[in-house]
A = this chain, B = another copy of it.
């Protein structure tokens, strides 16, 4: 029965999209079933619509034959599930062919894109036009989908770091195949559609982020104007316990707008992971990398227990004043507060040896890590951080990195807290102890995501080729999520293996299920993704 339905659906999708856009070859499917952790979920087919109309028709067919589909944009949701569907048996609905930039306004600073548009594509688009607008980029991959990352509420490094907060005017295909536009977009020729988020009446954008209520086929993204002057800052904190005073010192600056961007603070493990792979030789192959060894390495390589980066944006005078305030706030709390601008970076790159001799700063190595981060703070996408997914591999990352294909193990856990030192310290200590105890390295970054929010990204890196590692890493991640939750720290985003970890019972869950039942009575869209299946639906769906 299931197979009959699936086969019929596949035939109808093939009629709709053409045989090249319905992929059922084993190698392609097996590749898509592989992520940075194991799920065992099977993917019976991949379908590739090229337009909103085709997406609508694909969903109508899915409904007709009760075949669940799982939409992906670029499928680079690494650490949270890559392309893998939230349940076994879902047909992948790959939106990668919808890669048009459909609107752009230099004066008002926005661009309207389809789900296949990647970070690299938008960056190239802006460069080509000599645009004075900056995009915000995540460190994930240059081939990451803008819509995919935004709807997952991912973030980057500029003042527009909170992606979902800087987007609007969604075009959404609902599970039944109908399509809507949110905000003022529903009205004919509404001038404010791409600039004003709320529209009139209930605001529905939030419904479609981190959910399985619809497929976003178009979105407007706001772009920041290039500032007259840009200066990055870097600092470090020698002691692990220093994070508390540091975070408390930064909060007022984030709240009063002196720091306007999503500044990052990374622990020593995170920095080491960005610099190199696991030090197999130095440790004689033993894992995990324990604190004393880590301390030795960070002394040798000259970075701190915590390492901060951020940037100041404005006129020269605005940046100068922000610099003064930042210096004052961080005095005594950090060592080596360094400022870097384009001119200094060019000089440094050109005369790095000389510069090292003058400043005593190990610049060459530092630059290899700093440059991509420096670029990210100007909205320049980079693949550099991707190399860190090869942390525990025994072979060096290839030029064409692909953590899914290369069986890099990666699980992410992302608790959120208020920007307060005590919270930062508690999360760091709990995480460090727990992850080391499980035999992995606690790689932690903390981002001042909004004026009040500290977003922590904790990555557990491992090698999927080692038998048993996946189960051990998952047990570690699961316990971490649980312990953080018990301490009041909940993740802003979930991997497909952890969707049920934060689902509660009670009226909120019931409301989500009721909404799901209303919007997707046959349960054909990404079942289990952030919203658990309604009881009613499971009775009627196959």
- A-side interface residues toward B, CB under 8 Å? 107-110, 153, 159, 164-165, 174, 178-181, 184, 186-192, 194-211, 213, 222, 224-225, 227, 251-252, 255-257, 260, 313-315, 317-318, 320-321, 324-325, 416-420, 423, 449-453, 485, 488-494, 502, 504, 506-508, 510-512, 514-515, 517-519, 530-531
Can you list 19 A-B contacts (CB < 8 A)?
Answer: A109-B255, A109-B452, A165-B197, A178-B510, A181-B508, A190-B490, A191-B418, A192-B417, A192-B490, A200-B491, A201-B210, A202-B207, A202-B210, A202-B213, A202-B530, A315-B321, A317-B321, A514-B519, A518-B518
Given contacts A201-B210, A202-B208, A502-B200, contact A452 B110 (CB under 8 A): yes
Shortest C-beta distance, A127 to chain B (Å), equals: 20
Given contacts A196-B450, A321-B317, A510-B178, contact A207 B210 (CB under 8 A): no
Whether the pair B107, A251 counts as a contact (CB closer than 8 A) is: yes
Shortest C-beta distance, A489 to chain B (Å), equals: 6
Question: How far apart are the CA atoms of A502 and B200 in the complex, in Å?
Answer: 9
Whether the pair A512, B452 counts as a contact (CB closer than 8 A) is: no
Closest to A133 in B: B255
Whether the pair B174, A416 counts as a contact (CB closer than 8 A) is: no
Question: How far apart are the CA atoms of A491 and B321 in the complex, in Å?
Answer: 40
Q: Which of A256, A321, A488, A514 has the most CB of B within 10 A?
A: A256
Shortest C-beta distance, A394 to chain B (Å), equals: 35
Whether the pair B257, A257 counts as a contact (CB closer than 8 A) is: yes
Whether the pair B208, A207 counts as a contact (CB closer than 8 A) is: no
Residues of B within 8 A of A504 (CB): 186-187
Given contacts A109-B255, A206-B203, contact A187 B222 (CB under 8 A): no
Q: CB < 8 Å: which of B197, B494, B507 contacts A179?
A: B507
Beyond A178-B511, A317-B317, 19 additional pairs, beta carbon < 8 A: A110-B452, A164-B198, A186-B504, A186-B508, A187-B502, A191-B488, A192-B417, A192-B489, A200-B490, A200-B492, A202-B210, A202-B512, A202-B531, A203-B210, A225-B252, A227-B256, A257-B313, A514-B519, A515-B515
Shortest C-beta distance, A405 to chain B (Å), equals: 29
Residues of B within 8 A of A256 (CB): 225, 227, 314
Residues of B within 8 A of A192 (CB): 416-418, 453, 489-490
Q: CB < 8 Å: which of B194, B318, B419 contacts A318?
A: B318
Whether the pair B196, A420 counts as a contact (CB closer than 8 A) is: no
Question: How far apart are the CA atoms of A191 and B315 in the complex, in Å?
Answer: 36
Question: How far apart are the CA atoms of A151 and B474 in the complex, in Å?
Answer: 41
Question: How far apart are the CA atoms of A508 and B181 in the complex, in Å?
Answer: 7
Q: CB < 8 Å: which of B209, B452, B493, B508 contacts A108?
A: B452
Whether the pair B207, A203 counts as a contact (CB closer than 8 A) is: yes
Shortest C-beta distance, A322 to chain B (Å), equals: 8
Whether the pair A198, B153 counts as a contact (CB closer than 8 A) is: yes
Closest to A198 in B: B153
Whether the pair A190, B420 counts as a contact (CB closer than 8 A) is: no
Residues of B within 8 A of A517 (CB): 518
Residues of B within 8 A of A108 (CB): 251, 418-420, 452
Whether the pair B191, A423 counts as a contact (CB closer than 8 A) is: yes
Residues of B within 8 A of A184 (CB): 416, 490
Q: CB < 8 Å: which of B110, B207, B320 contacts A204?
A: B207
Residues of B within 8 A of A508 (CB): 180-181, 186
Whether the pair A325, B321 counts as a contact (CB closer than 8 A) is: no
